[in-house]
Amino acid sequence: EEPTASFTASDPDIYGTVAFTNTSTGEALDFVWEFGDGSPIITNTNPSHTYALTGTYTVTLTASNAVGSDTATAPVTITYITSMPLANFTVAISGTTAVFNNTSLGPNLNFTWDFGDSSGVVTTTHPTHEYAAPGIYTVTLTATNEAGSDTTTQTITINNEGETPFQIFLPVALKQM
């Protein structure tokens, strides 16, 4: 029996991944999938594929056996891909006041700051915090979106007013993921 190639595709998830269900008919079939984005061909029966960029792609399934082959194509449109956040910040300190500059990367981010002094957390993007006492504090920033979350910390030193007129802490340029 000559094969008839056909398939369905799921809606893409937030990462650009589409699950394909092979609905081809025929006996002793071999399959070749092409996803339209230049990635290598796949010979799985029911593959999933993750697209790196938004756009419309033509997916091709070829089903073949000893009798013949058939090809089915369908467009898949990826309209949105989200990426994991990367939390990062700089801080400028004057006396007991710390001004935080949030340099986190990623779409649709929400933030949680912990200033390391038991004052509770805040969710503003670029907070300013007044420390009650001099000391060494570990500041934690968590950036979250629908793809997940990332946390970074920096240890800062708060001095009495006048001891250090101004101090800038820069983040590490490369962070181990």
Nearest 5°: the CA angle 167, 168, 170 is 155
1 token code pair: 């029996």
| Amino acid 167: pLDDT | 54
Mark out the alpha helices in the chain (DSSP H runs). Answer: none
The answer, as to whether pTM is greater than 0.85, is: no
What CATH fold (topology level) applies to the domain 7-78?
Immunoglobulin-like (2.60.40)
Domain residue spans in the chain?
A: 7-78, 89-169
pLDDT tens for each residue of the chain, 177 residues long: 899 999 999 999 888 999 999 999 999 899 999 999 999 999 999 999 999 888 999 999 999 999 999 999 999 999 877 788 999 999 999 999 999 999 999 888 999 999 999 999 999 999 999 999 999 999 999 999 988 899 999 999 999 765 444 555 556 554 454
| CB 140, CB 113: distance < 8 Å | yes
Residue of 96, 94, 87, 138 lying closest to 117 (CA atoms): 138
Could you tell me which CATH number the domain at 89-169 has? Answer: 2.60.40.10
Asked if 7-78 and 89-169 have one fold, the answer is yes
| Amino acid 149: pLDDT | 95
